[in-house]
Amino acid sequence: MAGPLSHIKVLDLSRVLAGPWAGQNMSDLGAEVIKVERPVKGDDSRAFGPPYLKDRDGKPTSEAAYFLAANRGKKSVTVDLADPKGQEIVRALAASCDVLIENYKFGDLARYGLGYEDLRKINPGLIYCSVTGFGQTGPARERPGYDFMVQGMSGLMALTGKPDGEAGGGPMRFGVPIIDIMTGMYASIAICAALAHRAQTGVGQHIDVALLDTAMALSSIQGMTYLTTGEVPPRIGNTHPTIVPYQVFPTADGYIILACGNDNLWKKFCAAAGCMELCDDPRFARNSDRVSNRNLLEPLLNAVFARKSTSQWSQVLEAAGVANGPINTIDQAFADEQAVARGTVQQLPHPLAGTAPAIASPMRFSATPVAYRASAPLLGQHNDEILATLKPKA
């Protein structure tokens, strides 16, 4: 069945990750996504390797895993935006598209006559989504922005990692470019909202999405802690600022995550773990008590968890209805029976490899399923198909 956005055409002028992630979401939802790339080199992320996808003979291709991660289902055309003929091609494409996604620096596309104010004149219904480091306003709007630097600037790295003074202590970035990915997600939501607005009014609009704004929004609970108290939250590693125990514990052979989100779960845990004396102790009876006395409780729980292996604890806690989980490596995560049952890995057609793996979208629909049509395209793979339909001015 057709996806929920199968009636939508998207022109994706973005590169690397945040913008392309939004474009990939549009493709997953059924939209036709035309990716405009530089001739010869294409999207910068095509060169972000190794690793590269292997061909049918097991030899590395030129297709980087990074590029495959954010561009499935798109059609690639090569256009030189510095050439007036290339600019005319983009205008012609934009005239027939519903959405345009770009992540050029502030003002760059306007220099080529491809800014929002330029394109809305030929397509008043166009939804033009600009993804930048710092947005379209403010003193930093012309600065380039990257995920890593914004994780640091936003305060998120100061909240992530072990406390200073502990072994391995210090600020830590997230293990994947979370700000790029979440900016792409916010852009996707904004585009869908603008499409809903256009369906009622017939009018398009300019969407301004920035990495820094996304990172600040992701401060969420910790950000509100500061705003409501004036106190800067400390870095606390794998513990939770307001719930105890909600953290990692070492077992006899590894680690396990225990999540006692309320006092009832705490009682269930103590009963299952054979440590009811902790539950009866007034220092640990309520969550607020446990938060205040976490330094006393944690060594006691470490001793409890050292009695069994991770798998043994998982069985005990699962039977008691206490939330828990192991710390998997990536290969273990993909092999998990629940991930397998959910179809987390998809195999998509690819012209060089035959098929290429893809990580499934987390969006699941009962009536309009996600469209897994093809892997990421080769550079310029769809030039003939797309450009043959246009008649750019000489």
* Residue listed under structure tokens 């010869």: 40
Known catalytic residues are 180
Q: 59 pLDDT exceeds 60?
A: yes
Classify residue 335 by its DSSP letter: H
Q: E-strand spans in the chain? A: 9-12, 32-37, 52-54, 60-64, 75-78, 99-102, 127-132, 205-210, 246-250, 255-259, 324-326, 345-350, 354-359
pLDDT per position as a tens digit, 136-155 = 999 999 999 999 999 999 99
Q: 344 pLDDT exceeds 60?
A: yes
Of 88, 82, 52, 45, the closest CA to residue 67 belongs to: 45
166 φ, ψ to 5°?
Answer: -85, 155
Q: How close are the terminal C-alpha atoms of the chain, in Å?
A: 41
Question: What domains lie within the chain, and their CATH numbers?
Answer: 9-218+341-387 (3.40.50.10540), 246-328 (3.30.1540.10)
As a 3-state breakdown, the chain gives helix, strand, coil percent values, each rounded to 5, of 40, 15, 45
- Rounded to an integer, the average pLDDT of 213-221 is 97
Burial group, residue 166, by CB count within 10 angstroms (0-12, 13-18, 19+)? exposed
What's the confidence (pLDDT) of residue 218? 97
What's the confidence (pLDDT) of residue 394? 42
Distances (CA, A) of 97 to 11, 186, 283, 369: 6, 21, 63, 23
pLDDT per position as a tens digit, 241-286 = 899 999 999 999 999 999 999 999 999 999 999 999 999 999 999 9
Contact 320/22 with Cβ under 8 angstroms?
Answer: no
Q: 392 pLDDT exceeds 60?
A: no
What's the confidence (pLDDT) of residue 301? 98
For the record, the structure tokens of 325 come out as 């989980």
Q: 165 pLDDT exceeds 50?
A: yes
CA distance 20 to 133: 15
